Every structure is written in structure tokens, then in C-alpha cells.
Chain A
């Protein structure tokens, strides 16, 4: 059975304190790994798609990387506005459609 585990569950950083969020996954055949950001009471917002090990994507202070077993979301010099829940999700080749398996999320709080 597909499994997606995110760690830590919650992370508190000072403004400017860089860190990484982890997403480990177990699927039979990875079609894609997706990162989303979700603000409280809102729907998730798509950030990145990663397809193969070694791939990297960047957007402002965020950088996502992928290996065969996990993905990292690196946050460089975070600002308070980066506070949100970050969700990763995987899609495998075998499934019947656009089904995503979400991880439990990492709640990030960046203090000024």
C-alpha cells in the first residue's frame, strides 16, 4: 500500500533560520511527487512537481529535491509569510486516475 510520511509534524523557525522539510514515500512506481502549500482555512496551493530522482525545482525561498525514497523542501531565510502547512503528495503509475496520496503535512511557523 502506498505510504507518504512527512516530518516533522510541526516546525518553528526564527525569521532567517533556514531548514528542511522531509517527505518519505513508498510506492511501486512513482509517477510524480507534488508539493502544496496550505494556509489556514484555505485550499492547498500547488508549488512543485518532481518526476525523477535528482530533479530540483526552485521558487523564491523554496527549493524541492527528490531522491528514490524521499523529497526535501528546503526553505532558505524564511519570512513570517512562509508560515503555512506544507503538504506533499505522490501519484503512482498504477492508479486508476489522478489520485494523489497525501502526507500528513508539516505545519511551519516562522516568527519575526
Chain B
């Protein structure tokens, strides 16, 4: 069983809707990530939080808004999405702080939230 829990597993929304994806981990990891994955493509990094602070935003459109309420929770708020935003959204976490030093590429991924935008 994955130790990173994502909800909902599936989400269908219209272009005018506002919805949120949620992610939770209880491994004590200090870095959390949002990735977007299209079919038959590798995951694409969207955002990185380190110690609850946004450290990396990979030029993601403002219709995606991340939030890290505490060290165990990560949200992705969605508003005015486009059909091309339909994808599998993956949350991940890792030990260690950002930058040189303790960083590791060993990520623990959740099972993802399958988003369909109509």
C-alpha cells in the first residue's frame, strides 16, 4: 500500500468549476511535489514544496494553485481549467531538504488523481 494518499481518485469538472486535489503523507517527509502525467508520457514536475514553502514552480499556469497547509498535506486548487489539462495528477514526497546536501531522488508517489476537464 502506498503511504502517500491522494483524493479524489477520479474527478470530472467543467471549465468553469473550482475543485481541489488533496494529498497526505505521514512519513515525516519534508519535501512534497505535484506532477502532471499525460498518457504514455513521463511525469512532468509542476511544483515543489520544501518545509511547507513553495520552492519550485515550473512555469505552471495560474489556473493551478498549490497550497501546503502543513508538513503532511498538499493541495492543488483548480480553476478555469482547459480540456488539455486532463491528465493524471501525481503527488509525491521525499526525505531531506532542498538543494545540495540531503536531497534524494527517491520519491514516494501516490496513486494519482485522474482529472477530466469537459
Q: How far is the CB of A9 from chain B (nearest CB, A)?
A: 9
For the complex, is B65 an interface residue (Cβ under 8 Å from A)? no
Report A18-74 residues with CB < 8 Å from chain B CB.
31-32, 34, 41-46, 49
The interface residues of chain A lying within 8 Å CB-to-CB of B50 are 97
Q: Number of B interface residues, CB 8 Å?
A: 32
The CA of A97 and the CA of B99, in the complex, are separated in Å by 4
Inter-chain contact A100/B107, CB cutoff 8 Å: yes
Shortest distance in angstroms between A40's beta carbon and chain B's nearest beta carbon?
10
Option from A41, A91, A93 in Cβ contact (under 8 Å) with B114: A41
Chain A residues within 8 Å of B, Cβ to Cβ: 31-32, 34, 41-46, 49, 87, 89-91, 93, 96-100, 102-105, 107
B residues apposed to A, CB below 8 Å? 2, 4, 31, 33, 40-43, 45, 48, 50, 55-56, 88, 90, 92, 94, 96, 98-100, 103-112, 114
